[in-house]
Structure 1
Amino acid sequence: MSDYKTVQDVIDGDLDNVEARIEAVESFLLGARLNGHKLTSGEEDALNSYVLRDDLRWSHPDKMTLIDYPFESRSQTERRAKKSLPLKLAEERGADGRDYRLPTKKKRSRYENWYVDKHAKARNKERREAYQAFTKTQPVVEYRVDPAEIEAELRAKYGRKLT
C-alpha cells in the first residue's frame, strides 16, 4: 500500500526516474481508490504533469519533430500559437508571394480632394472659354473679286483661253 496521503505528498517525493514516478502515482491511486477517495480533475492534472514533467519541461524548439509522441507545456503551446499564421493569410497569398486579394479603392485625403478639384476647375474653365469662343457668332466677312482677276488666275493655272 502507499505511504502517501495526498497528491501533494506524491509530488513532494520528487523522484527523478519516470518509472519510479509512475509506480508512486499508481500506488497512490490504488490506495485512494481502496479508501474511497475520489480525485478532483485538478488533482488528476497535477499527477499527470508530475509523471510527464520531463517531457513538459524540455523546451527544445524542434521538440515536436524529434519525438514520436510529444507533449507540449502551456508555454510551449502559447509560443507555437504565436508563430502560426492565420488561415486568412493563406487564402489571400499565393505560393508565388503575390497578393490575390480583391483590390480596394483608396480613400482620398482632404488635401487630395482639394488638389483634384482645384485642377479640374481650372481645366473646366479653359474648356468652357474655348467652347464659347468657338460657338459665338462670327463676324460676316465680305469678299469682292473682279471677274478679270479670276480669268487671269485661271489662265495662269491652266494655260489656255476660257470661253
Structure 2
Amino acid sequence: MSYNYTSDFERQVNQLVLRGILDRSVRMNEIRKLIESHTGSMNHKPDTTQLERLADYILKEELTDPNPYKMSHTPYPILSPWQQELRYRREVTLKVAEEIGADGQRYAAPKRRHRSTKELLLLDEQARIRNAERAAQYQKDTAPGPISVYHLRPDEISPPSRDSKYIKKS
C-alpha cells in the first residue's frame, strides 16, 4: 500500500485552518513549519490548491475585511474575489469622465439615432412628392421665354421683313 502525500497534506492543512489562530506571525510560523515538514521529510511538492488555501489563511484579515473603502484607507489593499467583482461593477471607463461634466451634463458629440423602416418609407414617399413639385417648378423657371429685341441706336433699325406679323398687308 502506497502513502498518499496529497491527502495527508490536505488533512494537515484542514487541521491548521480549523485551529483559527488569531495572531498572524504565529499563523505564518505554523504554516512554514507545516510546509517544511511536508517537503523535508517526504521530499514531495505540496498541492497547489492547499498552498493557495494556506496563503488565504495568512491574509485572513485582509480578505475578510468588509470595508468597501479599503482601497483608499489602506496602503496596500488586498481584495477578496467578491470585493474585486463589486469594484469592477462600480468602475466606469475614462470615456465617461471625458464626456460627462462636473455638473452632470453629457458633453459628448451627439449621435444620430437610426430610423426605423417605417420612418424611412414615409420619408421616401414625402421626398418623392417634394421632388415632383421641385421638378415642376424647375421646368417652369428654366423654360425659354419670349425673346425681346431692343434697339438702342437708330441706325440699327432695319425695315421689318414681309413676313413680320406687325406689318399691315395690303
TM-score (norm 1): 0.64
Question: Do the aligned partners of 2:70 and 2:77 also contact (CA within 8 Å) in 1?
Answer: yes
Q: Secondary structure at the match of 2:21?
A: coil
For 1:75-154, list aligned pairs within 5 A: 75-86=82-93, 89=95, 93-94=98-99, 96=101, 97-100=106-109, 106-130=113-137, 135=143
Q: Percent identity?
A: 23
- For 2:15 and 2:113, locate their aligned partners in 1 and report how far apart those are by CA, in whole Å: 66
Partner of 1:27: 33
Write the deviation string for residues 137-157 of structure 1: whole angstroms up to 9, x where unpaired. Answer: 88xxx89xxxxxxxxxxxxxx
Alpha-carbon spacing, 1:125–1:58, altered in 2? closer, same or farther (3 Å): same
- Alpha-carbon shift at residue 104 of structure 1 (Å): 5.6
For structure 1, which segment, 72-81 or 32-41, has the greater mean C-alpha deviation from structure 2 after superposition?
32-41
Alpha-carbon spacing, 1:94–1:49, altered in 2? closer, same or farther (3 Å): same
Question: Do the aligned partners of 2:100 and 2:108 also contact (CA within 8 Å) in 1?
Answer: no
Match status 1:12 vs 2:18: yes
What is the Cα-based RMSD across aligned positions, in Å?
Answer: 3.3
- Alpha-carbon shift at residue 124 of structure 1 (Å): 3.1
- For 2:133 and 2:36, locate their aligned partners in 1 and report how far apart those are by CA, in whole Å: 98
Q: Secondary structure at the match of 1:35?
A: helix
- For 2:70 and 2:111, locate their aligned partners in 1 and report how far apart those are by CA, in whole Å: 42
- Alpha-carbon shift at residue 39 of structure 1 (Å): 1.0
- For 1:48 and 1:65, locate their aligned partners in 2 and report how far apart those are by CA, in whole Å: 24
- For 2:130 and 2:55, locate their aligned partners in 1 and report how far apart those are by CA, in whole Å: 79
TM-score (norm 2): 0.62
Partner of 1:149: none
Which structure 2 residue ranges, 5 or more long, are not aligned? Answer: 1-8, 147-164
Alpha-carbon spacing, 1:16–1:116, altered in 2? closer, same or farther (3 Å): same
Number of equivalent positions: 134
- Alpha-carbon shift at residue 35 of structure 1 (Å): 1.0
Which structure 1 residue ranges, 5 or more long, are not aligned? Answer: 144-163
- For 1:129 and 1:95, locate their aligned partners in 2 and report how far apart those are by CA, in whole Å: 49
Alpha-carbon spacing, 1:9–1:125, altered in 2? closer, same or farther (3 Å): same
Question: Do the aligned partners of 2:100 and 2:107 also contact (CA within 8 Å) in 1?
Answer: yes
